[in-house]
Amino acid sequence: MTRSTRQRERASETRTQEDTEEGVRVCPECDSENLARSSDRGELICEDCGLVVDDENIDPGPEWRAFNHQERQEKSRVGAPTTKTMHDKGLTTTIDWKDKDAYGRSISSKKRSQMHRLRKWQERIRTKDAGERNLQFALSEIDRMASALGVPRSVREVASVIYRRALDDDLIRGRSIEGVATSALYAACRKEGIPRSLEEIGEVSRVERKEIGRTYRYISQELGLEMEPVDPKKYVPRFCSELDLSEEVQTKANEIIEETANQGLLSGKSPTGYAAAAIYAASLLCNEKKTQREVADVAQVTEVTIRNRYQEQIEAMGIPS
């Protein structure tokens, strides 16, 4: 019986070795291919029977352990990752503005004046020429507008990449830095599926809406940015939240948009106005009535636009007005 057990173990080891050479791993105990790698212990475990198939994997993680975010931050010995949102990609040195030493004690007045001079020169040498200073200004503008709009970090990164591409292709010559930066942010919002209307972008920008639209069209054409039409349904959650409407109204508005868009009503229409009309219609159908003025103020469209889109939508759905 011992001999047969050894033969079975030897056969399973041979089979495992053959499977490894072919690039397929199976469990030597239950012949299952459902294997999972444990990231914290560096082990290969069978999820069916629980056998540890391999425990000699190299662990790419740090040699220390941490049990929460604060401990991880304290024990980490690396800096922040590189980012396109800074002109030097975050690879610079920053001198702290606190006049304290490593132990938290206040430094002398002589040291304070010396640190003040070091900080001043540090800021000066961060940008070596006018091109870098302009890039620094443009990226700071993108960061300021993105913060005012409340868009996530990924949008800022994409906007910074688009601006850098425009700068490399010499598309900024003859145009304002603020206009190109605003257009890059508008394009990034559309690319990341977090649309903001030109009116909303224009409110936080220092350039006119007409210039933003003109510069955006030029940049998207020259850089070959493939922009899909904005889906009005992406505006619905934000508008409903600002109007304090229920989930029922939001669902109904999405249904109206989807059904009427399938009939071809969306073609050539503003997505914000279309979404606003659908929300207005849904609020009436769900007995949570909002006035056209309230909806228009949130969507930043006119009441006339909402009335026209509303009439088209209810007629397409066969709802009596």
Binding residue positions: 27, 30, 46, 49
| Per-position b or e across 141-152, b if 16+ CB within 10 A of its CB | bbbebbeebebe
- Residue set of the binding site for Zn(2+): 27, 30, 46, 49
HSE (side-chain half, CA atoms, 13 Å) at 59: 13
- Cα distance between residue 69 and residue 65, in whole Å: 11
Q: Is 41 exposed, middle or buried (0-12, 13-18, 19+ CB in 10 A)?
A: exposed
For the beta carbon of residue 34, count every other beta carbon within 10 angstroms.
12
- Cα distance between residue 280 and residue 291, in whole Å: 8
Q: Is 43 helix (H, G, I), strand (E, B) or coil?
A: strand
In this structure, are residues 43 and 54 in contact, taking their beta carbons and an 8 Å threshold?
A: yes
Listed residue (18, 20, 22, 26) closest to 47, CA to CA: 26
Listed residue (90, 96, 194) closest to 146, CA to CA: 194
The residue length of the chain stands at 321
The phi and psi torsions of 52 (rounded to 5 degrees) equal: -80, 105
